[in-house]
Structure formats: structure tokens, C-alpha cells
A and B are shown apart, each in its own frame.
Chain A
Amino acid sequence: MQQHTYIFAAHVTYRMITRKLNLLLAALAFILISAPAFAQQVKVIKYKELEQIRNAPHDTLYVVNFWATWCKPCIKEMPYFEALTAQYKNQPVRVMLVSMDAAEDLEKRVKPFVQKRSLKSDVLLLDEVDANTWIDKLEPKWSGAIPATMVFNNKRKQYEFVEKELSQEELQSIILKYKP
């Protein structure tokens, strides 16, 4: 009987240890998996995916800004877009910063840029070489100069496109006009 109890106790201890170990492993796995979610990611997309964003049916105001790490006026206006992300947190306003950098520069330039500035908006990189094949499909009025910004809420059939560097006041007034 005593021996039985001993075995039972040992078994319980063993189970407790394994459970703790499992928990620890699970926690570790969770940290490993979710770590990249904390660090800002740059999603590489093709034109098709950009088109899907443009056609998103939600009652959300999408603010899509086209930029590049080499584009000075883009970098100048970027804080205004970041401010929107903070300002409209938990509201149906979604800022997407679509980089025109070359896909080869993702690790070397784009990711370090995003980390350094701890950007909070969604950052995407459009991996298309020949802009002539897609610019007109997206917006015929766009000559291809960046920065350029499109704001839309497809549910409410709202759309505006600007091909220039925006001041914070200009950007704010555009958002105020459409914000759901």
C-alpha cells in the first residue's frame, strides 16, 4: 500500500512536471510564433493583391500611400500617415504604406527603415517591375510620380486620389471628409 502511494505520488509529481514543461514549451512556442507579430512586418504583394485591397468591400476608409525609402517628400509626409493610424485606432480607418522599392531592397533597406521608425501602419512592398502594366489599371490619372495617395471607402462609393506631397492639414481634411 505504502509503495503504491509512493508510486502514485511519484506519478503525480511526474505529471506535474510534464504539465509545467508543456506549459513552458507552449509559452515558448507562443513567444516564438508571435514575436514577428510584435515587430512590424513588410508584406510583399503583387499587383493582384493591391487590386484586391482597392476593391475591398468593407465600410472602412482605406488610406493607401505610395512611397519609397529613396523618396524624400514621401518620408516627409509619412509621420502624418502614422498619426492617422494612432488617431483612428479601433476605428474603421486603415492606413497602408505601399513601398515602391525594389523587392531586392526588402531586407537591406525597407525592413530596416520600418524598424528604425517603428512604423505602426501596415507596410507593404509592391513587387512589380514594369509600372506601365499596372498604373493605368489602378488609376489612369496617376502619372507615376510618388508620393501619391488614394483614399477610398467602397461601401460608401467614396474615392479620392492625389499625386503630390500632402501637408498634415491637407491629409487631415481629406480624412475628415470621408471618415465613417
Chain B
Amino acid sequence: MKKPNLPLVYMVCLLLVGVLLAAVPADNGYQVGDTARDFKLKNVDGKMVSMADYKDAKGFIVTFTCNTCPYSVAYEDRIIDLHKKYAPKGYPVIAINPNDATASPKDSYADMQQRAKKKNFPFAYLHDETQEITKAYGATRTPHLYIVQKQKDGKYKVAYIGTIDDNSRDASKVEKKYAEAALDQMVAGKTISQPNTKAIGCTIKWREA
């Protein structure tokens, strides 16, 4: 084999890294305490949905999740339960699928509609087709929760960023319900003791530039 021209290979590599770095969205999303922007995204029922549409809500459990990630699937029933428990208290779930349908075909709008129907989602399941909202929030994995609280001035303050609980695998073995603890504290008007949590999840499938 011919010996490769190393400086050239190196330069090509650097160039490639540069191009790829430019294509990857910056990792500066919201932190707890920031104001979250509203959105207008297409729900599985064909209607456009914004947080502003929910006149009586005190806040939202904005959940970036999808059809394809095994962790998201494992959490589906628990996301439904979260909605059932906290929507009556003023905090409904709004699920947003952040994945690009070309990169992840089973996350297409039609597949989302199917999944929502099959699981009988009691909450909105929106398609972030341009991935603009996902980038603005700074979601990186599925599932990824942003619990926001509506302020007196109508703004949405990020109160919690993280995971649902400590056991993605087995709901019956959960010991720490991180999201519920945060929501209970919010509902009770207390400070959230653990506003940031992490979990292993699937990467978001970004649209190729």
C-alpha cells in the first residue's frame, strides 16, 4: 500500500471536524431559572399547539420524547401517568418529538399519529419539524423533561430539567421519582430541592445539514 500523505490526511481530518462542528447545534440551551420560549407546533390531531392555548395551566411538563428510543418507549406509560396526575393540578404534559424524520423514519408525523393513537396519549404530541424548539430548549436526549412554571407576567420559567425517575428499566423498582418530587414541591409552593437530574437516553437525531 502506498504510504498516505500524512499532512494531507491530517488537514482533511481537521476540515471534516470543522464542518461537523459547525453542523452540530451549540449546546447552550436553557438552564433552570431561564425563561422558556413558547412554540407553535403541529399536534398529532393536525392542530397547531402553543403553551399560550392552555389558559388555565400553571405550567407544563414539556417532554422531549419519540417513538423510537427504547427509553422513551419504556417511559410512555409513566409520561401518561404524570399527565393524569398533574394536569388536574395545572401542569399538563406537552410531548415534543425532536427527531428528524429523515434521520429516523419511524419518527415521522404519520408514525407519531399511529403511536399516539395506539397508546391513547391524553396529551399533545407535537412534531418539532425544524428542530428549532429542541435547539432553543437545549434538549439533547429522549426522554428529556423541562418543567416550566407560568409567571405572573405570563412568561414561562424553567423550574426543572432532567429525567422522570431513577429506573428507566422497571417502573416497579423506582425508588426516586425525581420529576414528581419537583412537581409536588412546585404545587406546594416550595423550592425544588433537586432541579437538575440526568439519565442515560438516546441522542436526538438531528437533521443533516
**Chain B residues with Cβ under 8 A from A73's Cβ?**
203, 205
Q: Does B65 make an interface contact (CB < 8 A)?
A: no
Q: Does B149 make an interface contact (CB < 8 A)?
A: no
**In the bound complex, do residue B202 and residue A129 qualify as a contact, i.e. CB atoms below 8 Å apart?**
no
- From residue A17, how far is it (CB to closest CB) to chain B in Å? 54
**In the bound complex, do residue A176 and residue B24 qualify as a contact, i.e. CB atoms below 8 Å apart?**
no
Query: Known contacts A132-B178, A136-B198: does B13 contact A144 (CB below 8 Å)?
Result: no
Which residues, 100 to 130 on B, are CB-close (under 8 Å) to A?
none
- From residue B11, how far is it (CB to closest CB) to chain A in Å? 10
Which residues, 130 to 176 on A, are CB-close (under 8 Å) to B?
130-133, 135-136, 142-147, 163-165, 167, 169-170, 172-173, 176
Question: Which B-chain residue is minimally distant from A174 (CB atoms)?
Answer: B17
**In the bound complex, do residue A169 and residue B16 qualify as a contact, i.e. CB atoms below 8 Å apart?**
yes
Query: Known contacts A129-B167, A130-B166: does B70 contact A145 (CB below 8 Å)?
Result: no
Which residues, 1 to 50 on B, are CB-close (under 8 Å) to A?
10, 12-14, 16-17, 20, 24
A-B contacts, 25 listed (Cβ < 8 Å): A70-B70, A73-B203, A73-B205, A104-B169, A129-B166, A130-B167, A130-B175, A130-B176, A131-B198, A131-B200, A132-B162, A132-B163, A132-B176, A132-B197, A132-B199, A143-B201, A144-B201, A145-B204, A146-B203, A164-B203, A167-B16, A169-B12, A169-B13, A170-B20, A176-B13
Q: Does A124 make an interface contact (CB < 8 A)?
A: no
- Select which of A68, A70, A100, A145 is within 8 A of B140 by beta carbon: A145
**Chain B residues with Cβ under 8 A from A147's Cβ?**
203
Instruction: Give Cα distance in the complex from A170 to B203, angstroms.
Output: 18
**Chain A residues with Cβ under 8 A from B205's Cβ?**
73
- From residue A145, how far is it (CB to closest CB) to chain B in Å? 4
- Select which of B24, B199, B203 is within 8 A of A131 by beta carbon: B199
Q: Does B152 make an interface contact (CB < 8 A)?
A: no
**Chain A residues with Cβ under 8 A from B178's Cβ?**
132
Q: Does B141 make an interface contact (CB < 8 A)?
A: yes
Q: Does A75 make an interface contact (CB < 8 A)?
A: no
Question: Chain A: residues with CB nearer than 8 A to chain B?
Answer: 66, 68, 70-71, 73, 100, 102, 104, 129-133, 135-136, 142-147, 163-165, 167, 169-170, 172-173, 176
**Chain A residues with Cβ under 8 A from B175's Cβ?**
130
**Chain A residues with Cβ under 8 A from B163's Cβ?**
131-132, 144
**In the bound complex, do residue B17 and residue A170 qualify as a contact, i.e. CB atoms below 8 Å apart?**
yes
Q: Does B55 make an interface contact (CB < 8 A)?
A: no
Q: Does B190 make an interface contact (CB < 8 A)?
A: no
Instruction: Give Cα distance in the complex from A131 to B143, angstroms.
Output: 14
Instruction: Give Cα distance in the complex from A170 to B141, angstroms.
Output: 21
Question: Chain B: residues with CB nearer than 8 A to chain A?
Answer: 10, 12-14, 16-17, 20, 24, 70, 140-141, 144, 162-163, 166-167, 169, 173, 175-176, 178, 197-205
Question: Which B-chain residue is minimally distant from A103 (CB atoms)?
Answer: B169
**In the bound complex, do residue A173 and residue B14 qualify as a contact, i.e. CB atoms below 8 Å apart?**
yes
Report, nearest first, the 8 A-B pairs whose CB atoms are least far apart: A145-B141, A173-B13, A130-B166, A143-B140, A145-B203, A70-B70, A135-B198, A144-B198
- Select which of A129, A163, A173 is within 8 A of B17 by beta carbon: A173
B24, B173, B178, B203: residue with the most chain A Cβ atoms closer than 10 Å:
B203
User: 12 additional contacts, CB 8 Å, given A133-B166, A135-B198?
Assistant: A66-B200, A104-B169, A129-B173, A132-B197, A145-B201, A145-B204, A146-B200, A169-B13, A169-B16, A172-B13, A173-B17, A176-B10
